[in-house]
Structure 1
Amino acid sequence: MTNRLAVSLSPYLRQHADNPVHWREWDEAAFAEARERDVPVLLSVGYAACHWCHVMAHESFEDHEVATALNEAFVCVKVDREERPDIDAVYMQATVAMTGQGGWPMTCLLTPSGDPFFAGTYLPKPQLLQLISAATEAWRTRRDEVVASGSHISERLRDIALPTTPGDLTDTRLQDASDALARGFDWQHGGFGKAPKFPPTMTLEFLLRHHARTGDERSLRMATETCEAMARGGMYDQLDGGFARYSVDAAWVVPHFEKMLYDNAQLMRLYSHHWRASGDPLSARIACETADFVVRRLGIDEGALASALDADTDGVEGLTYAWTPDQLVDVLGEEDGVRAARLLTVTADGTFEHGTSTLQLHADPDDRDWWSDARRHLLEARDTRPQPARDDKVVTSWNGLAISGLVEVGMLLERPDLVAAAQRCAAYVLDHHLVDGRLRRTSLAGRIGVSAGVADDYGNLAEGLLVLHQADGDVRWIEAATALLDTALEQFAADDGGFHDTAADAQPLLRRPRDPADNAEPSGQSALAHALLTAAALTGDARWRTAAEQAVRAGASVATRDPRFAGWTLAAAEALASGPLQVAVATDDAERATALVRAAWLSPSPGLVRVVGEPDRPGVPLLEGRPLLGDAPTAYVCHGFVCDLPRTDVTEVETALRRRATV
């Protein structure tokens, strides 16, 4: 037996390719070996940017004493949770059920049939060795008891996975959700609850949409205070743009330093929407800087976007990012270094570890030119430090989120280069990840992974393509998106109108994963609800809207019980309540139509879609039967494909949009 991870496509698994542990990837052969050797399976799940995954690797999996014990007692299986979210979901539910908490690295002991009989997260070396000894003894002397326990746990997991009761997210329930969020809001620091604090991006999107539809000022205030707090604190990279994964404290001072594509993709979109709702120049700046970070630091040569930057540098968390006052002086000189320390809250005692500080920017400096110059010098100096590793894996779902975000920032803040970046990204994913009409989850350096796409891959990519179609009018995107949605309805639909996370023909696990909750990313169910709703508004196909309505109803119980974990479902419900609102701009000269198109993008109505192109353009239903008025670019404001009179005046279009948004 040997370690078999060197040939893996996953950067996370490759990180463990030199371990003395005889790691295998998840496959039937691993469990067949466990049956043949008559030993349990040790399942270790993590991801490439995970700090504590690295700690456990260094302490235990690189240690020959631990490796010898593991190799003798188990078949050892490594899983990248980002490549196989289905496996992660099943065994994370077991971990939470058995221990009351979850996280990564996740460590589970399984019978050769896959039933879990132990679950935990990070285990220090002494605790892991103790577990190996106890599990080996139990497997040798109390086999029947261990197997029965695992079987019972699996059966309970299947019971827990039963679908919830669908319901309607009425206007009253949407207001109730806003009220519940206000009760849990941190009115001192922004965000919800206590430390650690994760960016509540989808929840804030719901609040912005609720404000747009109802005029509720408290919803806008919660979004505003959280957006500003996150942007001013240490979780945001004040030099290079982009957000870290979360804040370990309630005041957004100290981040957990990994930077994930899925976070930044959603956050750039959120900040552009907040700018649209408020006109806040801070949000405009953060949206653009975050988009620039994503393209610059996560862009790969082929046009797609890499998954993440690591939490650690050379095994030290924050090594690249933290500063002392003396280091600022070294770069900027005495006077400017002291000035920068005050501005960025870099103190002698430090706000992070070992006398170092994260960078915060509680107020923009009066001298913008000075700050721009100082920031450039600090970033140049920081770039000479050791840098965190990058996980170059391309994930379909996260690139779909990024396509949406890049387009929204590009169109709202007049950055055509970002729309072009979204086009390159979309082309790569369709050209590489779509194999025989079905999505693959990942690729690396142009090599396509074997893991099948899951529901959020289909939903987030379809939504991204539909948003991109609205920006450039290319029918390729809408045709690809609707084909993906056809597949999703065939492969992922559940009996209650919601969606499973895995396809009907996927490799069976202990149970078929299905989680309607929105967490760090949209659930597969809410991602598909959004894409279906957008497709319905663009095409007029009632089949899509009915499916979207059913998916939102299937998520209503989570939205009612805890709206913090149903932000994207609630955002879809707001779009259902106010839409479909459509703007079709017919023109034979795109440049002449710029003002009309911009008016359509600047409307905050949650249910709005827009298209631009020549009258009667094939493949674009909203332009069918929409002629020019004279020879001028002409806008049609429609609700459910029932349109007002054609207009060529921008002010009239804006007035019509405001009126229609309340229909």
Structure 2
Amino acid sequence: MNTLHLESSPYLLQHANNPIHWKAWNKETLTLAQQQDKLIIVSIGYSTCHWCHVMEHESFENEDVADVMNTHFISIKVDREELPHLDNFYMKAVQIMTKQGGWPLNVVCLPDGKPIWGGTYFRKDAWVDSLLQLNKLYQEKKDTVLDFANQLNEGITILSQAPAAQEESRFNIDILLDTWKKSFDWEYGGYDRAPKFMMPTNLLYLQKKAALHQDQTLLDYIDLSLTRMAWGGIFDTVEGGFSRYAVDHKWHVPHFEKMLYDNAQLLSVYADGYKRTKDELYKEIIDKTINFISANWANGEGGYYSALDADSLNQHEHLEEGAYYVWTIEELKSLIKEDFDLFSEVFNINSFGHWEEGNYVLIQTQPLETIAQEYNISLELLKEKKGNWENLLNTYRSHRAKPRLDDKTLTSWNAMYISGLLDAYTATTNTKYLKLAEENYSFIQNKLWNEELGLLRTYKNDEAKIEAFLDDYAFYIQALINLFEHTGEEHYISTAKNITDYTLDHFLDHKSKFFYFSKYSSDDVITPAIETEDNVIPSSNAIMAMNLLKLGVLYEHTYYTELANNMTETMLSMIDYPSAYSHWLLVQLYIQQPMELTWVGKDSLKDNLNTRSKVISRAFVFNMDGNSSIPYLSKYVANEETVHYLCMNNACQAPSADNSKLEQYSL
């Protein structure tokens, strides 16, 4: 029987009524497969995955398919966001076998979980034929299947190992940047390809690097990217929030699902952009994104849900990708009325903005200043009209069927959002964003921390479950350090240190000096993996390296510092395509020329926040206004007059109350 109704994951619950006898991943299910000597089907996806929905409708809701799967296999459904270590493991297997990957991810395994065959989306007939052949092969040539599984597992083990330092380092940032720039789209920003992902961690590093070294060409590229992303359909100008990626090269038509992790990271990118340029468009993006998250994903307890689906019910009550977001000319004319021509000029209700079947996705292609001049109206009036149009469309759209909500709360994504909120706070000085960050911290600490188990990964219906993975720890430690840096409250940094020590005890591979993605003491059948590459989310090991550097300074803890330096040096020695290692390059900005700026005195927090209102590329910035128990700060004495201490390359200048002296340094 199908037991997914016992789960809390929205993705698993979507499959709870399938005729297939789906099970969850657990020891009992694996034991059942071994007792019955049946192959296992592991089908992995997530709630907002469009092609997962397609395969469900075509195959997993079909009685004939269910008969094959139920008769010959033990079938397991996995939410990749709940159990990312399984997704990483089986994705490596499929990539070895097929040279490609994606979701849905469907793998056939031995009864012990070792993979023997797999792929992504399959049409119904191909799926059934493959399953029947695999079952026959397993029954008739079991030894051959076992041999292949062992060979494949050896390949996965090799891919899961920590990187080894190259004897002769190939690292040269200028050469790497020259190579990197060849992949840039100099017309629309981002990368010159489709589909087109925003890759926030790439943009974060490139912007800080460009600001630090005053690389105007690179800054122009960043501004092109941020502007075109903000104008494009990938950003929902009506309500706010970014979709996961665009299917075209001009950021026009999104794959309409929205994810918390993208929006959390992009807050930091746009915050740096606003700090650097004071471009009101960037501030608009920050404010709209946070308003969208609060309106749609707040769980009522200080935390936030995970995602909105790409699919929603259309006017015929059928699930359709993008139905909630797109517009027909008739709808727009009836809503905008006499301003329709001006609206069409702003949002390209023309051949450029047309998507398909008479539907339009709103996209800008020129600044409002240009359009205001063309129509001989004031910029202020056009901005007012644009805001009114968006409110009107948002009210109208609220009566449509909303996309399906993934209402689980994930520790790592919420921790990312804390950091994004703090960057938004120092960019805009909106104290509401600091308050939201502090409330999110309280939620994680109160609901997702367990004194015996450590962090838990997911929360829903007042229940936290699943022991956390490295990304949960890394991003939460990062959030705690950021909270300390933005408030000066020492309980944040002491909590960060305690959780870091827990992470060292339970995740560190003492041989390679990198961190496993899952606890190495786990008795899971999955090969423990060390993940070091960035993707749409930065490498957890890279986040830990920066965490260790900051804690190493504050606690004068040489082990933290040496560990972070060794990890980073190893990674830099082997970088060949920099886009996959941008967060390591961000760590390298500090290591290349360590810089610490500490404000001490009555107004230290104010001066700290003023410093953070500008782009910080490499410096660690702290403040204290009284006595401190933190070793690095405890040597300072706070007085009425606030002074700053600037240290570079382990040498400190004399304290100074003259803040103008800092202007000569790039922080």
TM-score range, shorter-chain basis?
A: over 0.9
Aligned-pair CA distance for 1:210: 1.5
Stretch of structure 1 that moved more, 529-538 or 119-128: 529-538
Aligned partners of 1:3 and 1:21 also within 8 Å: yes
Distance between the aligned counterparts of 1:196 and 1:430, measured in 2? 38
Alignment equivalent of 2:565, drawn from 546, 549, 561: 549
The yes-or-no answer on 1:234 pairing with 2:243 is no
Aligned-pair CA distance for 1:476: 2.1
Alignment equivalent of 2:476, drawn from 461, 470, 484: 461
Which structure 1 segments of 5+ residues have no match? none
Aligned-pair CA distance for 1:374: 1.1
Distance between the aligned counterparts of 1:275 and 1:174, measured in 2? 26
Aligned to 1:656: 662
Question: Would the alpha carbon gap of residues 623 and 178 (structure 1) be closer, same or farther in structure 2, given more than 3 Å must change?
Answer: farther
Post-superposition Cα deviations, 1:393-423, rounded to whole Å, max 9, x if no partner, equal: 1111111111100011012211110111010
Stretch of structure 1 that moved more, 246-255 or 632-641: 632-641
Alignment equivalent of 1:599, drawn from 572, 585, 610: 610
Aligned to 1:403: 418
Distance between the aligned counterparts of 1:432 and 1:205, measured in 2? 30
Specify the code of the residue in structure 2 equivalent to 1:191. Answer: G
Alignment equivalent of 2:403, drawn from 388, 402, 406: 388
Stretch of structure 1 that moved more, 286-295 or 312-321: 286-295
Aligned to 1:637: 646
Where 1:245 maps in the other structure, the secondary structure is strand
Specify the code of the residue in structure 2 equivalent to 1:436. Answer: E
The yes-or-no answer on 1:361 pairing with 2:370 is no
Distance between the aligned counterparts of 1:178 and 1:280, measured in 2? 26
Question: Would the alpha carbon gap of residues 113 and 654 (structure 1) be closer, same or farther in structure 2, given more than 3 Å must change?
Answer: farther
* Equivalent residues in 2 for 1:336-485, closer than 5 Å: 336-347=339-350, 351-365=354-368, 366=379, 367-436=382-451, 438-449=454-465, 451-485=466-500
Aligned-pair CA distance for 1:660: 6.5
Q: TM-score, normalised by structure 2?
A: 0.92
Post-superposition Cα deviations, 1:119-153, rounded to whole Å, max 9, x if no partner, equal: 11011222212222222222232222222222221
Aligned-pair CA distance for 1:348: 6.7
Aligned to 2:117: 118
* Percent of aligned pairs sharing the same letter: 28
Specify the code of the residue in structure 2 equivalent to 1:636. Answer: Y
Q: TM-score, normalised by structure 1?
A: 0.93
Aligned partners of 2:593 and 2:649 also within 8 Å: no
Aligned partners of 1:498 and 1:554 also within 8 Å: no
Where 2:418 maps in the other structure, the secondary structure is helix
Where 2:645 maps in the other structure, the secondary structure is strand
Alignment equivalent of 1:332, drawn from 328, 332, 336: 336
Where 1:359 maps in the other structure, the secondary structure is coil
Specify the code of the residue in structure 2 equivalent to 1:608. Answer: A
Post-superposition Cα deviations, 1:163-193, rounded to whole Å, max 9, x if no partner, equal: 3222599996222222221122111221124
Aligned to 2:310: 311
Question: Would the alpha carbon gap of residues 168 and 441 (structure 1) be closer, same or farther in structure 2, given more than 3 Å must change?
Answer: farther
Specify the code of the residue in structure 2 equivalent to 1:21. Answer: I
Where 2:252 maps in the other structure, the secondary structure is coil
Alignment equivalent of 1:610, drawn from 617, 621, 632: 621
Distance between the aligned counterparts of 1:573 and 1:373, measured in 2? 45
Distance between the aligned counterparts of 1:489 and 1:88, measured in 2? 24
Stretch of structure 1 that moved more, 244-253 or 500-509: 500-509
Distance between the aligned counterparts of 1:538 and 1:375, measured in 2? 47
Aligned partners of 2:212 and 2:666 also within 8 Å: no
Distance between the aligned counterparts of 2:555 and 2:352, measured in 1? 59
Question: Would the alpha carbon gap of residues 570 and 68 (structure 1) be closer, same or farther in structure 2, given more than 3 Å must change?
Answer: same
Specify the code of the residue in structure 2 equivalent to 1:354. Answer: E
Aligned to 2:316: none
Question: Would the alpha carbon gap of residues 171 and 646 (structure 1) be closer, same or farther in structure 2, given more than 3 Å must change?
Answer: farther
Aligned partners of 1:407 and 1:471 also within 8 Å: yes
Specify the code of the residue in structure 2 equivalent to 1:194. Answer: R
Where 1:268 maps in the other structure, the secondary structure is helix
Aligned partners of 1:41 and 1:74 also within 8 Å: yes
Aligned to 1:42: 41
Specify the code of the residue in structure 2 equivalent to 1:637. Answer: L
Aligned to 1:32: 31
Aligned to 2:327: 323
Aligned-pair CA distance for 1:424: 0.6
Aligned-pair CA distance for 1:496: 2.7
Which structure 2 segments of 5+ residues have no match? 314-318, 369-378
* Equivalent residues in 2 for 1:73-152, closer than 5 Å: 73-152=72-151
Distance between the aligned counterparts of 1:219 and 1:620, measured in 2? 39
Distance between the aligned counterparts of 1:581 and 1:127, measured in 2? 60
The yes-or-no answer on 1:294 pairing with 2:283 is no
Where 2:615 maps in the other structure, the secondary structure is coil
The yes-or-no answer on 1:55 pairing with 2:54 is yes
Aligned-pair CA distance for 1:535: 2.2
Query: How many residues are paired up?
Result: 648
Distance between the aligned counterparts of 1:127 and 1:555, measured in 2? 42
The yes-or-no answer on 1:532 pairing with 2:531 is no
Aligned-pair CA distance for 1:623: 5.9
Distance between the aligned counterparts of 2:504 and 2:265, measured in 1? 25
Distance between the aligned counterparts of 2:333 and 2:491, measured in 1? 53
Aligned-pair CA distance for 1:221: 2.5
Question: Would the alpha carbon gap of residues 100 and 654 (structure 1) be closer, same or farther in structure 2, given more than 3 Å must change?
Answer: farther
Question: Would the alpha carbon gap of residues 405 and 264 (structure 1) be closer, same or farther in structure 2, given more than 3 Å must change?
Answer: same
Aligned to 1:511: 527
Aligned partners of 2:171 and 2:572 also within 8 Å: no
Stretch of structure 1 that moved more, 379-388 or 127-136: 127-136
Aligned partners of 1:116 and 1:150 also within 8 Å: yes
Question: Would the alpha carbon gap of residues 143 and 167 (structure 1) be closer, same or farther in structure 2, given more than 3 Å must change?
Answer: closer
* Equivalent residues in 2 for 1:230-309, closer than 5 Å: 230-309=229-308
Post-superposition Cα deviations, 1:320-354, rounded to whole Å, max 9, x if no partner, equal: 11111211112222x22332233112337963232
RMSD of aligned Cα (Å) = 2.2
Distance between the aligned counterparts of 1:582 and 1:31, measured in 2? 54
Question: Would the alpha carbon gap of residues 653 and 545 (structure 1) be closer, same or farther in structure 2, given more than 3 Å must change?
Answer: farther
Aligned partners of 1:582 and 1:640 also within 8 Å: no
Aligned-pair CA distance for 1:647: 4.1
Where 1:566 maps in the other structure, the secondary structure is helix
Distance between the aligned counterparts of 2:66 and 2:472, measured in 1? 36
Distance between the aligned counterparts of 2:501 and 2:55, measured in 1? 43
Aligned partners of 2:203 and 2:269 also within 8 Å: yes
Aligned partners of 1:500 and 1:524 also within 8 Å: no
Aligned-pair CA distance for 1:640: 6.6
Where 1:9 maps in the other structure, the secondary structure is coil
Aligned partners of 1:246 and 1:255 also within 8 Å: yes
Distance between the aligned counterparts of 1:31 and 1:243, measured in 2? 39
Distance between the aligned counterparts of 2:280 and 2:289, measured in 1? 14
Aligned partners of 1:291 and 1:409 also within 8 Å: no
Aligned partners of 2:418 and 2:479 also within 8 Å: yes
Aligned to 1:622: 633
Distance between the aligned counterparts of 1:402 and 1:199, measured in 2? 17
Post-superposition Cα deviations, 1:533-563, rounded to whole Å, max 9, x if no partner, equal: 23234444333222221222232255x2111
* Equivalent residues in 2 for 1:577-588, closer than 5 Å: 577-587=592-602
Deviating above 6 A after TM superposition, structure 1's stretches of 4 or more consecutive aligned residues are: 168-172
Where 2:299 maps in the other structure, the secondary structure is coil
Distance between the aligned counterparts of 1:169 and 1:149, measured in 2? 36
Aligned-pair CA distance for 1:293: 2.0
Aligned partners of 2:272 and 2:614 also within 8 Å: no
Aligned-pair CA distance for 1:624: 4.2
* Equivalent residues in 2 for 1:142-221, closer than 5 Å: 142-166=141-165, 173-221=172-220
Question: Would the alpha carbon gap of residues 9 and 624 (structure 1) be closer, same or farther in structure 2, given more than 3 Å must change?
Answer: farther
Question: Would the alpha carbon gap of residues 169 and 576 (structure 1) be closer, same or farther in structure 2, given more than 3 Å must change?
Answer: farther
